[in-house]
């Protein structure tokens, strides 16, 4: 069975839901993972922020506006009075529930319940639509099988056992529908896989049922070889290896959530990135095979802080790097890039919440310099040590851009450079011109 995930824009209106239905109904059995309609999760975050501040008027205003939008979509989605009534009942049920939080204490637990309503509504609406069309469709609640453990990591055994048992009990349907993003935590409470987490849901499900393929449907035709917002004439990359895709997703390619790649890679399940606006387009196929001798794509990750620690004590010493890394670990701050020399080490972080404390602690070991507003530019492809000439092309392209750090060798498919935010667009454009034109 294939697992198909449709993002918020793909199910963003009654019209778009109808297009998704046309796309998936070909007689082949499928499992669909749906996001909330576009904009919904942001509105639910806004409602929660009002409720934290005990501003129920503010919350009610957003709730009513959102409910109105849903009522309009329901009227457009269904043809029969029977299903219009069912759709409106579904909307009332969820919105009455959301409204019930305006009179009570509001904590992070209630917030997670509120945030889960978007996916519950979109999947409920879509399932009703398929039933109205006479499709043999089955709604399977993610809250009954999707679960994270105490470290907020997916509990893959629980997911596999519970999902297979639900599917065993509900055999013979053409379409199974479930919610992306939402899950339960180790205590059984409603939780989620973080913003944009529906891709992760699809990949975890694909891994749990050993799907033939995981398809991520969005509104662009696959992962592009550079950022189309800044560079003209970018092209979709037809094939990527799992490792290349993971690097690109982590380093800025917005089309795929970075967590999505690992479960697919571990179980060797191909992931296809497809476009609902152009369903026949090839898109991007992510698989275990590695295209030889080519640079696949360039991505950029913004809001990076670089920290340089210089110390005479590092000279010929051992244990220095461990002490430095332990400081980052103690503030739960991941490091992205690292470069070292005999007298210093530079690292980058993208979460600068504990920056001041980290810098204070690092000062015990040497002088510390901090550069904010940096960007990691990541060039991804078949860059094994035996391939010649790529480094030359990359640095030729960047000859007019000041470079703060360079990293190669951590993997054989990635060269990363750190530049000032103001030089990002120039760097992306010159790299595209040199590497792809």
Q: Which residues bind ligand ASP (CB under 6 A)?
A: 7-8, 35-36, 41, 118, 180-181, 195-198
Distance CA 348, CA 356 (A): 14
d(CA 288, CA 209): 19
- As measured in angstroms, the least distance from the Cβ of 205 to ligand ASP is 14
148 versus 428: smaller Cβ distance to ligand ASP: 148
CB of 145 to ligand ASP, least distance (A): 17
From the CB of 117, what's the least distance to ligand ASP, in Å? 10
What is the rounded (10 degree) CA torsion for 430, 431, 436, 437?
10
CB nearer to ligand ASP: pick between 42 and 56: 42
Task: Tell me the C-alpha distance between 16 and 316, whole Å.
Answer: 63
CB closer to ligand ASP out of 181 and 328 = 181
User: CB of residue 69 vs ligand ASP: minimum separation in angstroms?
Assistant: 15
Nearest to 177 by CA among 202, 196, 155, 157: 202
Pairing of strands 175-179, 137-139: parallel
Residue 115 token pair: 């945030």
Tokens at 425, concatenated? 């667009």
The answer to whether 63 and 99 are in contact (CB under 8 A) is yes
Question: Which of 376, 314, 331 is closest to 350 using CA atoms?
Answer: 376
CA 193 to chain centre: 10
SS (H, E, C) 26-81: CCCCEEEEECCCCCHHHHHHHHHHHHHCCCHHHHHHHHHHHHHHHHHHHHHHCCCH
Buried b / exposed e along 20-47 (16+ C-beta atoms within 10 A): bbeebeeeeebbbbbbbbbebbebbebb
Residue whose C-alpha is closest to residue 141's, from 81, 184, 187: 184
Token readout for 175 is 């379409």
Q: Which is nearer to ligand ASP, 35 or 241 (CB)?
A: 35
Write the DSSP string, 177-226: EEESSEEE-TTS-EEES-TTTHHHHHHHHHHHTT-SEEEEEESSSS-BSS
Question: 118 vs 258, which CB is nearer to ligand ASP?
Answer: 118
Least spacing, CB of residue 114 vs ligand ASP, in Å = 12
CB nearer ligand ASP, residue 35 or residue 348: 35
Strand partners, 3: 31, 214
Is the Cβ–Cβ distance between 30 and 2 less than 8 Å? Answer: yes
Q: Which CB, 195 or 364, lies closer to ligand ASP?
A: 195
CB of 118 or CB of 236, closer to ligand ASP: 118
Compare residues 259 and 374 and give the one whose CB is closer to ligand ASP.
259
For the bound state, the minimum distance from the C-beta of residue 215 to ligand ASP, rounded and expressed in Å, comes to 15
Between the CA atoms of 125, 128, 133 and 134, what dihedral angle is there, to the nearest 10 degrees?
Answer: 150
The residue among 159 and 255 lying less far from ligand ASP, judged by its C-beta, is 255
User: Smaller CB distance to ligand ASP: residue 195 or 422?
Assistant: 195
> Sheet harboring 403-408: ordered strands across?
338-341, 344-349, 295-310, 367-381, 414-420, 403-408
Kindly state the smallest distance separating residue 122's Cβ from ligand ASP, in Å. 9
């Amino acid at each position: 069975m294939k697992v198909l995930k449709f993002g918020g824009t793909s199910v963003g209106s009654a019209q778009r839901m109808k297009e998704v239905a046309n796309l998936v109904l070909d007689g082949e059995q499928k499992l669909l993972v749906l996001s909330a309609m576009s904009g919904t999760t942001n509105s639910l975050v806004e409602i929660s922020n009002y409720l934290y501040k005990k501003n129920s008027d503010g919350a009610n205003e957003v709730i009513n506006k959102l409910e109105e939008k849903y009522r309009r979509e329901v009227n457009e989605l269904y043809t029969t009075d029977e299903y219009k009534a069912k759709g409106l009942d579904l909307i009332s049920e969820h919105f009455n529930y959301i409204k019930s939080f305006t009179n009570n204490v509001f904590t992070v637990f209630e917030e997670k319940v509120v945030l889960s309503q978007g996916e519950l509504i979109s999947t409920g609406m879509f399932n009703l639509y398929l039933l109205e069309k006479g499709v043999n469709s089955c709604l399977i609640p993610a809250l009954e099988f999707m679960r994270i453990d105490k470290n907020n990591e997916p509990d893959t055994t629980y997911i596999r056992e519970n999902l297979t048992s639900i599917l065993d009990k509900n055999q013979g349907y053409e379409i199974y529908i479930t919610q992306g993003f939402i899950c339960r935590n180790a205590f059984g409470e409603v939780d989620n896989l973080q913003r944009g987490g529906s891709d992760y849901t699809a990949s975890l499900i694909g891994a749990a049922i050993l799907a033939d393929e995981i398809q991520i449907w969005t509104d662009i035709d696959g992962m592009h070889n550079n950022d189309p917002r800044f560079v003209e004439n970018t092209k979709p990359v037809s094939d990527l290896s799992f490792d290349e895709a993971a690097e690109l997703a982590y380093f800025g390619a917005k089309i795929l959530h970075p967590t999505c790649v690992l479960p697919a890679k571990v179980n060797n399940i191909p992931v296809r990135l497809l476009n609902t606006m152009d369903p026949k387009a090839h898109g991007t196929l992510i698989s275990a095979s590695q295209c030889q001798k080519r640079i696949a794509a360039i991505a950029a990750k913004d809001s990076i802080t670089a920290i340089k620690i210089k110390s005479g004590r590092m000279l010929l010493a051992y244990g220095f790097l461990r002490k430095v890394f332990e400081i980052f670990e103690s503030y739960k701050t991941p490091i992205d890039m690292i470069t070292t020399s005999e007298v210093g080490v530079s690292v980058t972080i993208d979460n600068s919440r504990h920056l001041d404390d980290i810098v204070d602690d690092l000062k015990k070991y040497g002088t510390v310099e901090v550069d904010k507003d940096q960007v990691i530019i990541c060039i991804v492809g078949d860059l094994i040590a035996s391939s010649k000439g790529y480094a030359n092309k990359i640095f030729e392209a960047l000859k007019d851009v000041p470079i703060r750090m360079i990293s190669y060798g951590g993997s054989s498919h990635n060269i990363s450079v750190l530049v000032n935010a103001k030089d990002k667009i120039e760097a992306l454009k010159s790299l595209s011109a040199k590497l792809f034109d």
